[in-house]
Chains A and B, each alone.
Chain A
Amino acid sequence: MVKEVIKGNFATAVAAKLARAEVIPAYPITPSTLFPEQISEFVNNGEMKCEYIPVESEHSAMSACIGAAACGVRTCTATSSQGLALMHEMLFIASGMRLPIVMPVANRALSAPINIWGDHSDTMAERDVGWLHFYAQTNQECIDLTLVAFKVSENKKVLLPSMIGLDAFVLTHTMEPVDVPEQDKVDAFLPKYESPYCWLDPARPMTIGSFATPEYYMEFKLAEEMAMERSSAVIDEVFEDFEKRFGRKYQKVVGYKTEDADVIMVMIGSMFGTAKAAVDNLRKKGIKAGLVKMTVYRPFPTKELYALVKSAKVVAIVERAYSYGHGGPLFADVSGAFYNMEKKPMMLNYIIGLGGRDIVPKDFETIYDKVKPSMETGKARMRVEWINVNEEAVKEAEGL
């Protein structure tokens, strides 16, 4: 293995190269731009053999991915924020056609106001489109999870597209040491893609993307859901295989000091590293705090998550996205998933780090302070709270 100090974006481009992606249509958007830049550099320097399509929009990027993947070739793109939103329509079509496209997404806030910094609003708004969702915490995970995603997506039991979230700037633009896997090892892990169907072959004409009446539509959609459910076991298998070959262990959910914890904070992405420092601090003060990071978000790992948090008094969902008029999307998912469990912890929701607002260890101690009265009384005081906002500036934003 070669140790390289690289940015998260570069890591995803390297993963696409190692995976020998055959078609890459892509369109630049901060903070994902390095991906199309890097791929075109690889291609123009002869380091990578791939059909790179410099499309005129993200909508066309995903459309071209669909056309290419329907030819049974390994297909990949990358985007962020507005670009992902522009693809929205085509994301359903990629999954509906069961095309194993892989897409790293640099997680960035959505306009308005326009903001190029990190949060999870973009991918969270795409959680119902039938794609698998992975989230990276480090640049190492950017590379590894992209490779894993190809293998899971292309599995015959799955055949669904995957997106891999990586936090804007914190991962995309930050240099970290990464073990770059060797090409021959990746080739063995991820052999040339052989599509199970003979798609778009004049020798065997096939109609793809036809018109389905109410008589047929639901069966297609349930079949998609069954594939999503099957993907759960496939992810475990692929993680195991990956660990054997590359020595790095992955799990759908990862716990930190959860065993005896009274309060467990559940989160996604790079803030897990920051939160660990906070938990260590809290532990020093004798507070039993723990953490869970979700590496896989779709399919939703209910069983694995529940096993980690079920004994806690409070589960605090700390997230970088919001569903206006309700609360955080992860909070809604976790509460929904646990609703019928016999024993369930109290669940509280904390919104943090929208639009790139800094997330520091102290924020998690603040969250603990907010959780404490609810935990002590056994009654949830506030279901959702926003952390670190300036009340005066909110009034100004409202024009009051």
Chain B
Amino acid sequence: MADKEYFASGHRGCAGCGMASAVRTILNAAGPNTIVANATGCLEVMTTGYPESAWEVPWIHAAFENAAAVASGVEAGLKARGRREGVNLFAFAGDGGTFDIGIQALSGMLERGHKICYVCYDNEAYMNTGIQRSASTPFGASTTTSPAGSVIPGKTQRKKPIAAIVAAHDIPYTATANIAYPLDLEKKVKKALSVDGPSFIQVMCPCVPGWGIPSEKSMEIARLAIETGVFILWDLEGADFKNIKITKLPPKPRKPVLDYLKVQSRFKHLVDKPDLIEKIQKEVDEKCKMYGID
């Protein structure tokens, strides 16, 4: 634990907010010489209600889709006055701000090679605006724009493999992380900040209202995502996927996906649909095989 906290308590996040825990771990790992460019979303709204702020480091928010571009400008601004050295520069954005509307700015930032650590706090939907589906929302999840209807049972598309897409840009460092593994996250943040160029960390962050989970269960459910193989913890330097490192293996045998699905109300309509559960299980099995976990 750090001696000083850089993400103050008293913000307006829900009890059990996964993202708040992720941000706290990340900022504490980075320390005082840090600047954050934040996209619009829950994180920005819950931490900066004027005239208060939960940020003990310099922080800027401009819009939803451009955290990567704003951070690119900050980097240039710092460089222009010889202030870049020793500063940890982050872009923080949700899954909506990363997978969907922000992917262009992100790709541009990666291609141009800015030394920025881009953190996607992934709560698998647009939570700030009331739980709409994003490209990160997993198959079958019920959201307000992919509702579990009598004909269509929730989201019909799968989650976009954002970290793999980012890694394909051949940047120095890409990682996935999960709030239930804070030491792993901390290590990845330090690594990301040490490389010379862009880095990217996708942190899985359960959302209490969005996932329909009890507030005291967010850590447990985040862990279940790893133990079932639904979410895989890995990191990679460069773009050669042969060098991928799985940083946390699920137990053998992996827990069944149903264990993960049945504790979240966004999936509750699936519990009595064995064919869909089987489909999800099969896809997770295939993914685990692809990543060499099984």
**A204: chain B residues within 8 A (beta carbon):** 58
Of B65-73, B138-146, B212-220, B275-283, the one touching chain A: B65-73
**A93: chain B residues within 8 A (beta carbon):** 62-63
Q: Mark A12-23, 1 if CB is under 8 A from B, else 0.
A: 000000000011
A53–B48 contact, CB under 8 A?
A: no
Most buried by A among B50, B74, B77: B77
Closest B residue by C-beta to A25: B73
**A59: chain B residues within 8 A (beta carbon):** 65-66, 69, 105
B44: interface (CB < 8 Å): yes
Interface residue count on the A side (C-beta < 8 Å):
44
B112–A73 contact, CB under 8 A?
A: no
B55–A205 contact, CB under 8 A?
A: yes
Of A206-214, A265-273, A322-330, the one touching chain B: A206-214
Q: Mark B100-141, 1 if CB is under 8 A from A, else 0.
A: 000011011001100000000000000000000000000000
A317: interface (CB < 8 Å): no
Binding site of B, secondary structure by majority: helix, strand, loop or mixed? mixed
Q: Mark A65-86, 1 if CB is under 8 A from B, else 0.
A: 1111111110100000000000
Distance in angstroms from A202 CB to nearest chain B CB is: 5
B111–A90 contact, CB under 8 A?
A: no
A63–B66 contact, CB under 8 A?
A: yes
Of B28-36, B162-170, B172-180, B230-238, the one touching chain A: B28-36
A34: interface (CB < 8 Å): no
A211–B81 contact, CB under 8 A?
A: no
B61–A60 contact, CB under 8 A?
A: no
Q: Known contacts A54-B112, A67-B69: does B32 contact A202 (CB below 8 Å)?
A: yes
**B35: chain A residues within 8 A (beta carbon):** 200, 202
Q: Mark B34-66, 1 if CB is under 8 A from A, else 0.
A: 110110000011001111010111111111011
**B81: chain A residues within 8 A (beta carbon):** 22, 71-73
**B55: chain A residues within 8 A (beta carbon):** 205, 207
A63–B63 contact, CB under 8 A?
A: yes
B249: interface (CB < 8 Å): no
Most buried by B among A25, A60, A89: A60
B76: interface (CB < 8 Å): yes
Q: In chain A, residues 23-64, which have Cβ atoms closer than 8 Å to a Cβ of chain B?
A: 23, 25, 50-51, 53-57, 59-61, 63-64
Q: List residues of A whose CB falls within 8 A of some B CB.
A: 22-23, 25, 50-51, 53-57, 59-61, 63-73, 75, 89-90, 93, 97, 199-202, 204-213, 216
Task: Name 29 interchain pairs, CB-CB below 8 A, sorted by A.
Answer: A25-B76, A51-B80, A53-B72, A53-B76, A56-B111, A59-B69, A60-B105, A63-B62, A63-B73, A67-B62, A67-B69, A67-B72, A71-B77, A72-B81, A73-B80, A73-B81, A75-B77, A90-B66, A199-B58, A200-B58, A200-B78, A202-B33, A202-B34, A205-B58, A206-B58, A207-B59, A209-B60, A211-B49, A213-B50
Q: List residues of B whose CB falls within 8 A of some A CB.
A: 32-35, 37-38, 44-45, 48-51, 53, 55-63, 65-66, 68-81, 83, 87, 104-105, 107-108, 111-112
Q: 14 extra interchain contacts, Cβ-Cβ under 8 A, other than A56-B107, A60-B66, A207-B58?
A: A51-B77, A57-B105, A59-B65, A60-B104, A66-B73, A68-B74, A68-B77, A71-B80, A72-B81, A75-B77, A202-B33, A202-B57, A208-B59, A210-B61
